[in-house]
Structure 1
């Protein structure tokens, strides 16, 4: 999607910034409201920009406004209709900027009641799936992967590594520990409840084909997981957030985490260890895939650090 940037900046820097932005082909529209900003005090500069070149626009804004009090708000632009620049608009690229990626991942992995509730519900559904027949099992696993926001918190870690941002790494680690800890606990409690109600048994879990598959992944399983982690990284980097669930469905990280919890509830410590190994494999694949994709985007496309 194209972007709208709204820049609030000191009035004595406005003309210099306009002179820096106006020559850029990626800036399709540029307008100014003198004295329109109350917080921070100054002018408001509004840009309709293409993805192609937006990093250069942000770089020039940061250079001109360095050392001053300013702010930038970004928004998706559904379309830009500009007959004079139609070819530029038509050939725009599909990339997210670092600031949007950081904000999106931070939002999805923020440790709140909503985040923890969704992870807990994903763990509960996966626990049910681990003691179910194949058809309801698939439904439970797919639903859990769609509902639980399990990819984004992990993706914060390689993003922080690429951008040398310790705070992003720290937030990611906290989100992963809190979120997956909650998921595992929910899977423990769900299995205990099912067993108390007589709806599931330890034997159903131990002999379930999905448990064996996660405990002993084949080459095919690992290849599918690699495809899932790589696609998840590209989805984040290309601003296609609405389809991130597909990457989780391709992996088994949610159900593997639930396997750890159910194994603990059953006292099956060897299965808990195998579940932890499968979970750790998917985590490692997410970190490695995201690092490769994000680093490639930095070296070949963005070539800048985030403004903040």
Structure 2
């Protein structure tokens, strides 16, 4: 933390009596902007969100900076003791400041997002024409839309209207641009004779699920989104690739483009329904999972504060 001189003593006092803080250092006069001090603290992940809230209540973000950096490898007896004294498990703890910042950054509407979205949708369109499940999986992995969808649930839980508006705009514009470019590409392929109506409307056993939504589409979206949100908020992030290849958002967008270009009403409507079912299921699951994590985190924080109060008393 960078702290103005007048606030440093209160910051140190807030950290000194907390058993979740294993190491604490103060560099007096080391900060030039703002003029003041730098405070370094090693904190058990389970208590990070609670401590950040207390420091925010002191006004540190307005007058200085709170910098949160995960430590992947450490050797410290005091750090181990701090983890053992802190209720909960590090893998279950959610650092909401970290999650929220990532949501804002990765839902920004920029050329990189639009490029990935467009390339993924183009690849999905090719996959549908050649009826290739491998290419469909590649398009799913390439698509950048999941974090924006998860951000909608985060915005509802944390009551961030600006985040909700930005994520919704990014999703709508991203899909619209990707479908428009893919439609133009499909029209060009049709004019060149590379793709025919039969390629789009004929039997495609490998990719027919893209325009055939059912109850399982919604259930898979719920399960995949819950797993994806856990991967985004937890210290363990190994499950995101599985989420990307479970939901049919980008492939559905690619088939919408083909349906528009070739006037295939059945594929167009079915794919649009598939896209709506998947997005709505993911938003609902994301909201529920985050709300549950917040409720559990709040309960653990209250328990930790009661323990601290008894120790100080």
Same-fold status (TM-score > 0.5)? yes
Higher percent of residues as strand: 1
1:37 aligns with 2:31: yes
Partner residue in 2 for 1:3: none
Equivalent of 1:74, from 52, 65, 68? 68
Residues 36-115 of structure 1: pairs in structure 2 closer than 5 A: 36-65=30-59, 69-89=63-83, 92-94=89-91, 95-115=93-113
Are 2:217 and 2:274, in contact at CA under 8 Å, matched by a contact in 1? no
**Corresponding pairs, count:** 295
Residue 152 of structure 2 is aligned to residue 157 of structure 1? yes
- Asked if the contact 1:37/1:43 (under 8 Å) is kept, the reply is yes
CA distance in 1, matches of 2:181, 2:236: 30
CA 1:12 to 1:139, structure 2 compared with 1: closer, same or farther past 3 Å? Answer: same
Deviation digits for residues 150-186 of structure 1, max 9, x if unmatched? 1111111111111111111111111111211122123
Paired position in structure 1 for 2:183: 188
| Residues 150 and 225, structure 2, Cα contact 8 Å, conserved in 1 | no
Shift of residue 68, structure 1, vs aligned partner: 5.3
Which structure 1 residue ranges, 5 or more long, are not aligned?
1-6
Q: How far apart are residue 101 of structure 1 and its match?
A: 1.1
Greater displacement, 147-156 / 209-218: 209-218
Q: Structure 1, residues 84-133: CA drift from partner, whole Å, max 9, x if none?
A: 34254478512341121122122222111111110010011000011113
1:22: how far off?
Answer: 1.6
CA RMSD of aligned residues (A): 2.2
Report the equivalent of 2:167.
172
Q: Deviations over 1:179-230 (max 9, x none)?
A: 1112212321332233334332221111223553233234444433322121
Deviation (angstroms), 1:57: 1.0
Q: Give the whole-Å Cα distance in 2 for the aligned partners of 1:210 and 1:66.
A: 56
Q: 1:256 to 1:243 in 2, by over 3 A?
A: same
